Structure formats: structure tokens, C-alpha cells
Amino acid sequence: LFNRCIYMKETDSTQKVIKKLALQEAEAGVLALTERQSEGRGRRGRSWQSLDEKNLMFSMLLRPALKPGEVQLLNLAAGLAVKKTLRELCGIPAELKWPNDILCRGRKLCGILSEASGEPDRIYYAVTGIGINVNMESADIPDDISAVATSVCIESGRQFARWKLLVEFLDRFAGFMCLLTSRGGAAKLLALYRTSCDTIGKDIRVMQDEEVFNGRATDITPEGALVVQTGEGEKIFAAADVHHLRM
Ligand code: BTN
């Protein structure tokens, strides 16, 4: 799937770089990789900050045969691939928090953002961007996020070659994308996600816009939304922030 990699010492956002290439009719499989972003973007309009040369930040151009409403499935596939890579290559107990944050011992070390452009029935292109804290040490993590952020190095006690992590991730992600775009594959990918997502079965707090709900996460819908049993009955969240409560 991946055939071309653009490496930039610095850029505004690799999401933007890939979107420009998508509009110039670039083929699926292009990857933009950078050390430093001046306008790194996160989910729900947040920013994504990262120190240079220690982490991985990249975006991928995808042109899957999916409907825009199914773009969440790309997030789930990417989350599955990161979790698998971190467990198999780095030996850390990575957890997948719906929809696609990767945590270790309750702290976040990877964020994933998928954006798509298309018509109601078809995606023209999708951009999946990933930021993984790889070789940051405790002292590198800004004080204001030290309670909620971690890195592969902090969790495993050793440094990793970032290219190796990238290659191993791409290999696993290509496998999940192959499954997702095969006949009946979306259902199979969702079944894998349900068993791998650590949010399912947990007591959680969900924050959506200004509202807060407490409940137990019970399932994932075919579109990748989260089903939560709350005091007010069952609720379905297509996009929200989730916090795992201790059990
Ligand atoms: C999140 O957890 O909010 C998602 C963060 C996604 C960050 C990555 S870093 C590479 C790519 N370029 C961006 O501007 N954002 C994504």
C-alpha cells in the first residue's frame, strides 16, 4: 500500500501536506513524515505538539472504497495497528481507548486523526495522521501534560529506532486496511476492534460538547460509534471524549 514517503524536517501539518497532494491527484499510499509541526492538529479542533527528533508524526493518503460516514473505520484500523505494533515490537501493555487513543498505564502516547473528503456515497480521499511519543523521556514531557502523557521510551525503559516502528506499523496497518476493504471485511474489522478496544466493559465518563455522561461502555456499532449504558438508558456516541474510570 505504501510506496512514497516525503520527509520534511519541518512543516505546518502533515495532514495539510497530504491534502494538497490528494487534490493534485496523487495516488493512495503517499506518506508525509516530519520532525516538527508549527500547526499540528488533533481531534476536535485541538492542537498536537511534539518535540523534534524524538517522536513520530506522519500522515497517509488513502483512497478506500468507503462512504464518508465510514471514515471512523480508518481510525479504528489505525488504532488496532498501533496497539499491535507497540505490544509486539516494544513489549509495552498498550491499551486502545475508543475511538483511537493509545494509552499505557492510563497515560496517552499516541493520537490518531482521520479526515475525509467526498460525496454522500463515496470518499475521494482520506488522510489518516498519527503522532506517537517514541523517545521522549520524562523530563521532555511538558509539566502541564505530565499527568496524562507518556512515551514508548518511558514505558519500555529503552529507545527505539523510529523508522523501525514506522515500518512495523505500516505493515500491520496495510493488513487491517486489506481486511477492511475486502468483501464483508468491515464486519470482521469491527469484530477485531470489539475484542481489542479496552473501553468496552469499562465504566467511563463521556464528554460530548458541554454534556457529561457516566456509564458502562457495552458495544461498538457497525459505524464505529460507542454504545454506553447510562442512568438515562442506552446512548450512542459517534464522536466524543472518553475517560476510563478506575474499576
Ligand atoms: C489526537 O489525539 O487528537 C490526534 C492527534 C493527531 C496528530 C498527528 S501528528 C501527524 C498528523 N499531522 C497533524 O497535524 N496531526 C496528525
183 labeled binding residue: no
Q: Using omega within 30 degrees of 0 as the cis cutoff, is the peptide bond preceding 142 cis?
A: no
The CATH fold assigned to 4-196 is BirA Bifunctional Protein; domain 2 (3.30.930)
Ligand 1 binding pocket includes 19 (Cβ within 6 Å)? no
CA atoms within 13 A on the CB side of 96: 24
108 labeled binding residue: yes
Mean pLDDT of 48-70: 87
Retrieve residue 188's grid coordinates.
470482521
Mean pLDDT of 171-197: 94
Ligand 1 binding pocket includes 15 (Cβ within 6 Å)? yes
DSSP state of 36: -
Above 80 in pLDDT, residue 51? no
Mean pLDDT of 107-121: 90
Say whether the ipTM exceeds 0.95. Answer: yes
Q: 232 C-alpha to center of ligand 1: Å?
A: 34
Question: pLDDT-derived band of residue 112, with 50, 70 and 90 as boundaries?
Answer: very high
Torsional class of 106: left (φ above 0), alpha (ψ -120 to 50), beta (otherwise): left
pLDDT in tens, 191-216: 999 999 999 999 999 999 889 999 99
CA atoms within 13 A on the CB side of 71: 24
Nearest CA-CA partner of 80 in 99, 65, 62: 99
Most confident of 47-56, 60-69, 131-140: 131-140
Overall residue count recorded for the chain in this entry: 247
- Comma-separated ranges of CATH 3.30.930.10 domains in the chain: 4-196
Give the pLDDT of residue 142. 86
Above 80 in pLDDT, residue 189? yes
36 labeled binding residue: no
DSSP state of 182: S
- Comma-separated ranges of CATH 2.30.30.100 domains in the chain: 203-244
* Strands, sheet with 241-244, edge to edge from the N-terminal-most edge strand: 233-237, 226-230, 211-220, 203-208, 241-244
Ligand 1 atom with minimal separation from the 46 CA? 3
Amino acid at 192: L
What CATH code would you report for 203-244? 2.30.30.100
Amino acid at 242: V
pLDDT in tens, 123-174: 889 999 999 999 999 999 988 888 999 999 999 999 999 999 999 999 999 9
Retrieve residue 127's grid coordinates.
488522510
Q: 234 C-alpha to center of ligand 1: Å?
A: 31
d(CA 35, CA 33): 7
Nearest CA-CA partner of 165 in 187, 134, 136, 124: 134
33 or 246: which leads in pLDDT: 33
Above pLDDT 90, what percent of the chain?
78
